[in-house]
C-alpha cells in the first residue's frame, strides 16, 4: 500500500507519534509537510528546528518533505500549513491531525484558561487545519483526514478532564465531517493512540507510582508502547483504498481495535413516566442486540 503522487500533511510531526506517521508515509512514497510548532508538552515555546530535523531524516532516506513551524491553534497560522503543501507540491490529498498538548490536573485545580487552551490546540487546531484543506478536497473530489482522539474522551482516567473533553469534541467533529464529506469523496476517521511519548510520560509514571507499579514492569510497559506501533493504523486510514468513514481505531502495542457508538434497544411507550424509566432500567441498559451508529451509513 503506497502513497506515490500523494501529498500528506502531518501536524505535530516533529516528535513521537507524529514523527512516526511522517516517516512511514514518506517511506511509502508520500510527499510530506512536517508541521510542528516546536513547543513543549504544555504548548509553551516554539522552534522550527524539530520539524526540520524530521525533514532531513526523510530526505536522507530518499523521501521528499518540507517543514512548517506554524501553530494549529491560530486560524491564519493553521492556514499557512495548507499553503505550504500547495506551494511546495501543488496539491493536497491527506491531512493527519496529530498536534496536541498535555496538562493533567484534578478538576478543581484546572483553570478555565487551561480548558480553553486544550480546546484551542486539540479541537480548534484540528478544525482550522481541516477547514483550510476542505476546499482543495472538494475541488479534487478526494481527501483523507485522520484525526486524533483518545480513550480519555470515554472517561476512566484521572486528571484528564480538560484533555478528554477536548478529544471528545474532536470525536464529534470527526463523525459529522464523515457524513458531510462522503458525497465528495472525502473520508474522515480518527486514531485513539496508545503510545508512550513525552506528552504522556509524566502522567503515566505518576499514575504508576500511585498504584505501586514496579519500575521493572513500568519499563517493560513503556518499551512496548512505541509510536511505530501506532503509525500503520494511521497510514491505513490515510490510504485511498481504505473503506472506512467516521470510524475510530484504537491502535498501539501491536493491536488495532474499533471504538464504536452503540445504542441499546431500550424501551418505548406512548406515554412515558419517570417510574417507567426506573422500573425498566435493566432493559434500558441492556446492550444485547445493540445497534452501532455509523456515520458512514447515515451519509449513504
Q: In whole angstroms, give the CA distance from residue 77 to residue 71.
A: 6
Q: In whole angstroms, give the CA distance from residue 261 to residue 242.
A: 20
CA distances from 68 to 60, 86, 141, 241, 264 (A): 18, 12, 26, 28, 46
- Residues facing residue 248 across a β-bridge: 190, 259
Count Cβ atoms below 10 Å from residue 16 Cβ, excluding itself: 22
Q: In whole angstroms, give the CA distance from residue 25 to residue 187.
A: 18
CA distance between the termini of the chain: 26
The three cell numbers of residue 142 are 478526494
CB 119 within 8 A of CB 93: no
Task: Calculate the CA 269 to chain-centre distance.
Answer: 40
Task: Indicate which residue of 21, 136, 163, 196 is catalytic.
Answer: 163
Q: In whole angstroms, give the CA distance from residue 14 to residue 48.
A: 9
The three cell numbers of residue 59 are 530526505
Q: In whole angstroms, give the CA distance from residue 124 to residue 188.
A: 16
Rg for the chain, CA atoms, rounded? 20
* Catalytic residue flag (residue 21): no
CA distances from 262 to 62, 156, 175 (A): 45, 18, 14
The catalytic residues are: 163
Amino acid at each position: 500500500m503506497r502513497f506515490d503522487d500523494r501529498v500528506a500533511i502531518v501536524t505535530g510531526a516533529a516528535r513521537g507519534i507524529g514523527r512516526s506517521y511522517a516517516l512511514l508515509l514518506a517511506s511509502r512514497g508520500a510527499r510530506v509537510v512536517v508541521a510542528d510548532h516546536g513547543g513543549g508538552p504544555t504548548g509553551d515555546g516554539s522552534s522550527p528546528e524539530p520539524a526540520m530535523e524530521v525533514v532531513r531524516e526523510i530526505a536522507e532516506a530518499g523521501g521528499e518533505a518540507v517543514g512548517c513551524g506554524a501553530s494549529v491553534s491560530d486560524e491564519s497560522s493553521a492556514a499557512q500549513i495548507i499553503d505550504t503543501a500547495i506551494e511546495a507540491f501543488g496539491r493536497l490529498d491527506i491531512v493527519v491531525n496529530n498536534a496536541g498538548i498535555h496538562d493533567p490536573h484534578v478538576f478543581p485545580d484546572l483553570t478555565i484558561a487551561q480548558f480553553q487552551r486544550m480546546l484551542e490546540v486539540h479541537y480548534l487546531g484540528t478544525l482550522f487545519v481541516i477547514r483550510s484543506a476542505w476546499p482543495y478536497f472538494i475541488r479534487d473530489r478526494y481527501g483523507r483526514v485522520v484525526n486524533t482522539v483518545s480513550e480519555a474522551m470515554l472517561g476512566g482516567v484521572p486528571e484528564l478532564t480538560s484533555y478528554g473533553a477536548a478529544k471528545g469534541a474532536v470525536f464529534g467533529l470527526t463523525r459529522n465531517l464523515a457524513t458531510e464529506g462522503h458525497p465528495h469523496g472525502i473520508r474522515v476517521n480518527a486514531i485513539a493512540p496508545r503510545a508512550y511519548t513525552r506528552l504522556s510520560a509524566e502522567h503515566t509514571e505518576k499514575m504508576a507510582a500511585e498504584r505501586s507499579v514496579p519500575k521493572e514492569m513500568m519499563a517493560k510497559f513503556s518499551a512496548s508502547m512505541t509510536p511505530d506501533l501506532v503509525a500503520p493504523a494511521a497510514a491505513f486510514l490515510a490510504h485511498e483504498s481504505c473503506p472506512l468513514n467516521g470510524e475510530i481505531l484504537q491502535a498501539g502495542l501491536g493491536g488495532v481495535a474499533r471504538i464504536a457508538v452503540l445504542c441499546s434497544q431500550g424501551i418505548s411507550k406512548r406515554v412515558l413516566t419517570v417510574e417507567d424509566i426506573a422500573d425498566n432500567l435493566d432493559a434500558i441498559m441492556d446492550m444485547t442486540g445493540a445497534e452501532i451508529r455509523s456515520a458512514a451509513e447515515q451519509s449513504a
